[in-house]
Amino acid sequence: MLFQVEMDVQIPLGLAPEVVEQLKKTERERAQELQKTGEWRHLWRIAGRYANVSIFDVASNEALHDILSTLPLFPFMRVSVTPLCRHPSSVRSDDS
């Protein structure tokens, strides 16, 4: 199942800089790991915001929730999820 996920990160201003840097480092590592497995198919930054739009390819709603909750920055995210399905006019065969 494909999902469009928008993640808007809002780290509290008072969080220690070294904690923030460690969170960002482990977030990057986790995101890259998920991209390599194919579960996180696409990742785009939203210009001008600490936010992204991503496409996930996972088995279920529950699987997506489980993955998102493993992200180190998850406690500081506002997340919006949109389920996707293949458009009948698409010329791509790999987008299902």
Digitized pLDDT (tens) for each residue of the chain, 96 residues in all: 999 999 999 999 999 999 999 999 999 999 999 999 999 999 999 999 999 999 999 999 999 999 999 999 999 999 999 999 988 888 887 766
- Evaluate whether residue 43 is within a structural domain: yes
- 71-91: b (≥16 Cβ within 10 Å) or e: bbbeebbeeeeeeeeeeeeee
Query: What pLDDT is stored for residue 93 in this prediction?
Result: 76
Query: How many structural domains compose the chain?
Result: 1
Query: What pLDDT is stored for residue 4 in this prediction?
Result: 98
CATH code of the domain covering residue 79: 3.30.70.1060
Sequence-separated (6 or more) residues with CB below 8 Å from residue 82:
3, 4, 5
Q: Which range marks the domain in which residue 63 is found?
A: 2-84
Q: Are 83 and 2 in contact (CB under 8 A)?
A: yes
- Evaluate whether residue 92 is within a structural domain: no
State the distance between the two ends of the chain, measured CA to CA, in whole angstroms.
Answer: 8
- Evaluate whether residue 27 is within a structural domain: yes
- Evaluate whether residue 91 is within a structural domain: no
Query: What pLDDT is stored for residue 96 in this prediction?
Result: 61
- Evaluate whether residue 96 is within a structural domain: no
Reported pTM: 0.90
